[in-house]
Structure 1
Amino acid sequence: MILVSESPMAILSLRSSSSLPLICSTISPLCSKPMLSQLPSNFSSSIASVPVTKLKSSYSSSVSPISRPRVVSARAATESFTDYREDIGEILGDVSIFTASGQRVQFSDLWDQKDGIAAVVLLRHFGCVCCWELATALKEAKPRFDAAGVKLIAVGVGTPDKARILATRLPFPMECLYADPERKAYDVLGLYFGLGRTFFNPASTKVFSRFSEIREATKNYTIEATPEDRSSVLQQGGTFVFRGKKLLYGRKDEGTGDHPSLDDVINVCCKATVA
């Protein structure tokens, strides 16, 4: 059986806990014993088993290109896009998701499609400890988004009841949180998916510098927030800024925990408000 953990590594079990450090060190340099000893204690509670057959299927059916994505800044907003069609905002607008309370909505209903500015942050799944950390940072930055007149929209993989677990236990403002159980928005935006991106991407090593933030964000963490469809844990996220239907900034997470600088995102939003 393959065990999926919300640390940036894959852990194989041979039915012996004492063999874990040795097994991990043979898989990836990230899994060496010194690295494992630094993990927060609540990381161990985020391990969920996934049937091998489902993982094989998920790994072979990546929904997005493997090439490095282009990051579009506000300054480059008028340039042609290599990764996204000019009408990507309109296409995304037709995607339906759910509020945390369970109401179905379309993206086009979430902000003014003519001149409104929205920061759309697609988390991984609601049971990802790195996403609890990102959600905490978003909550703390929300007053800055509000002051800039920007609508903050956080979307996670899972059903509305899983979203409510995160919103209640973190806590996180329910009015900003949405659920995408079928990963429709993730598919439209071509976000990365698969074993390699989830566990072995070098970009994930940055989580080792944020242990204190992760530990603080997951004080009330529960694995119950993980989607029932365990293949969903292989989904990566991304961050986007729109003005109306126009994409101003787009960034795909390269691996688990590869989050953008929120200062950069807010700067893009602020420049858009004065443009």
Structure 2
Amino acid sequence: MIVSWSLPPAISIIFHVPSWVEKSEAMDVRASTSPFSPNIADTLGEVSIFTAAGDPVFFKDLWDQNQGIAVVALLRHFGCPCSWELASALKEAKPKFDAAGVKLVAVGVGTPNKARILADRLPFPMDCLYADPERKAYDILGLYYGFGRTFFTPAIAKVFSRFGALQKAVKNYTIKATPDDKSGVLQQGGMFVFKGKQLLYARKDEGVGDHAPLDDIFDVCCKVPVA
């Protein structure tokens, strides 16, 4: 099923429902509306993911667990044009975060080689980019997952309000960044701000194209004194 608007190929992918999904029986949504545990940073800290270069790393080693401030952006999969758009916005905001002493951590669904495709072609700094092929961090944080959230969500209308930014971000896009494990395309992302192990801000993306406003994220960071 394809929406019939005339869109550039990279952007029209957002509105394309692959045939394998139409045949899938995995229609449940993994979501949690309960408050985050006070120990969420400890739980997340033990999750092992990969750097874009392919080295395993624990979340707890990505920022100072005592007083360090970190913006943790969980993208959708590396082959989603909306992930490229968000990554582009994060790259543009990085100097601002750096000046404020804030560590930027961007995580995507897929293997490290898929992360490198995005890093090379967007481009995006590899030292800020991580891969979570098994979506372990996404599960722990209770981020939304499922067919409806991906292909039939009102949130996708937000894409059109950022159409220019999206077009720019996907200039060098390639579908080859899509995970080989296609179940990963149903995963939604989210945005989190930590000070050490304290969770200051948490937002789950409602669906494709729904991102936290980076100005709001920066405001949260600026309200916290950097030790």
Gap regions ≥5 residues in structure 2: none
Shift of residue 208 of structure 1?
Answer: 1.1
Partner residue of 1:190 out of 125, 132, 142: 142
Partner residue of 1:64 out of 31, 37, 46: 31
Q: For each residue in 1:120-168, what CA deviation from the matched residue of structure 2 results, as whole angstroms up to 9, or x when unmatched?
A: 0000000000110000000000001101100000000000000000000
2:50–2:130 contact (8 Å) kept in structure 1 = yes
Shift of residue 184 of structure 1?
Answer: 0.2
Q: Secondary structure at the match of 2:166?
A: helix
Q: Does 1:259 align with 2:227?
A: no
Q: Partner residue of 2:20?
A: 51
Over 3 Å counting, the alpha-carbon distance change for 1:54 and 1:187 in structure 2 is farther
- Aligned amino acid, residue 267 of structure 1: D
Q: Secondary structure at the match of 1:56?
A: coil
Shift of residue 93 of structure 1?
Answer: 0.3
TM-score by length of 2: 0.94
Q: Does 1:145 align with 2:97?
A: yes
Over 3 Å counting, the alpha-carbon distance change for 1:52 and 1:147 in structure 2 is closer
The higher radius of gyration belongs to 1
Shift of residue 53 of structure 1?
Answer: 7.8
Over 3 Å counting, the alpha-carbon distance change for 1:266 and 1:213 in structure 2 is same
1:126–1:162 contact (8 Å) kept in structure 2 = yes
Shift of residue 51 of structure 1?
Answer: 2.4
The worse-fitting range, judged by mean Cα deviation, of 41-50 and 84-93 is 41-50
What is the CA RMSD across the aligned residues, in angstroms? 1.8
Shift of residue 41 of structure 1?
Answer: 3.7
Shift of residue 203 of structure 1?
Answer: 1.8
Q: Percent identity?
A: 64
Gap regions ≥5 residues in structure 1: 1-11, 13-19, 21-30, 70-81
- Aligned amino acid, residue 200 of structure 1: F
Over 3 Å counting, the alpha-carbon distance change for 1:145 and 1:220 in structure 2 is same
Q: Partner residue of 1:243?
A: 195
Runs (4 or more) in structure 1 with deviation over 6 Å come to none
Over 3 Å counting, the alpha-carbon distance change for 1:212 and 1:160 in structure 2 is same
Shift of residue 201 of structure 1?
Answer: 1.5
Partner residue of 1:164 out of 103, 110, 116: 116
Q: Secondary structure at the match of 1:233?
A: helix
Cα distance in structure 1, aligned partners of 2:22 and 2:201? 37
Counterparts of 1:4-153 in structure 2, within 5 Å, are 12=1, 31=3, 33=4, 36-37=5-6, 39-44=7-12, 49-52=18-21, 55-57=24-26, 59-60=27-28, 62-65=29-32, 69=33, 82-153=34-105
2:49–2:131 contact (8 Å) kept in structure 1 = yes
